[in-house]
Amino acid sequence: MIALSGLAGGLVAAGIVLLVFELTRRGAATGTPPRRRIRLSRATRIRALLALAAGLVTLAITRWPVAMIAVTLAVLFLPPIISTRVPMQRAAVLEGLEQWTRRLSDMLTASRGLEDALEASARQAPPAIAPAVQALSRRLAARAPAQAALRAFASDVGDPAGDRIAAALIIATGRRGGSVRDVLNALARILARDVATRREVEADRAQHRTTVKWLTLFVLGFTVFAVLDRAYSAPYGTLSGQLVMALVVAMYAAGLGWLSHLGSVPAPGRFLDENVDWSEQ
């Protein structure tokens, strides 16, 4: 009987994980080319496996299906909420693009064309965008079309700011005008303002993350106490107790989700379509 309940609980947890993944998956922004395949990162797959394992361990210890589902969802969704890695990476990419754009503008001279400057810029590319710039340099060195290489560069960067820079450079390669340096300097100034704004936003979001962390620690401490004190937690082993636990867990989840929503900033969608020839615009 316990094995059947554990199996049923595991299936319920897996179903909830898949449902939440589908409900929280953001659709493409306006102007963004549709994705052909949805690929989960290696870290996401590992976290999903750890979440299911933690849920099954919780079920084996407590015999509470609701606790198993709560732990599974917590392991799956709490790390991205309280982590600062992704916002810091986005800020680093913006700052790197700003620095690279300024250097590229300085490297453009009467004796050096745009393609040569792009190839040479890989030697001192900022670390946040170094792989994308180096890949761009290799494509140009292999005599790939400049427009195709720049579109691939924008895809490697994966940020709307990279799309703006790539689009400007694509237009420059098609027109061969003398105002490329002015355009790059203007883009660098815009990126500098974007970096400053994003850092201010992240400073405000840090307050919400701190609140979420304290709530998480409180819930974790209460859970450990409830598991250790069997006399206190015995009522949760009944059907009515599981319903009450489900209600409490839902309230905590709603509160954490609300706090996360208050501190979240939707990522802007990319606009550079691989099939658009920007030199003709």
Give per-residue pLDDT as tens, 193-236.
Answer: 888 887 877 777 777 778 778 878 887 888 788 778 878 888 88
How far apart CA 264 and CA 247 sit, in angstroms, is 25
The predicted pLDDT at position 3 comes to 43
Residues 119-154 have pLDDT tens digits of 888 888 889 899 999 999 899 888 888 888 888 898
Highest mean pLDDT among 1-5, 14-18, 117-121, 178-182: 117-121
Q: Lowest-confidence range among 26-40, 41-55, 156-170?
A: 26-40
For 69-98, the pLDDT digits (tens) are 988 888 888 887 777 777 788 888 888 898
Angle at 75 between CA 255 and CA 269, to 5 degrees: 70
* Cβ atoms < 10 Å from Cβ of 233: 18
Higher-scoring residue by pLDDT: 153, 275: 153
Nearest by Cα to 197 from 123, 117, 98: 98
Q: Domain coordinates of the chain in residue numbers? A: 89-196
Instruction: Mention every residue, 6+ apart, whose C-beta is less than 8 A from residue 227.
Output: 61, 62, 233
Q: Which of 192, 22, 211, 16 is nearest to 94 (CA)?
A: 192
Burial environment of residue 205 by CB neighbours within 10 A (0 to 12, 13 to 18, 19 or more): middle
- Is residue 47 within 8 Å of residue 18, measured between CB atoms? no
Q: Do 122 and 136 meet the contact criterion of CB atoms below 8 Å apart? A: yes
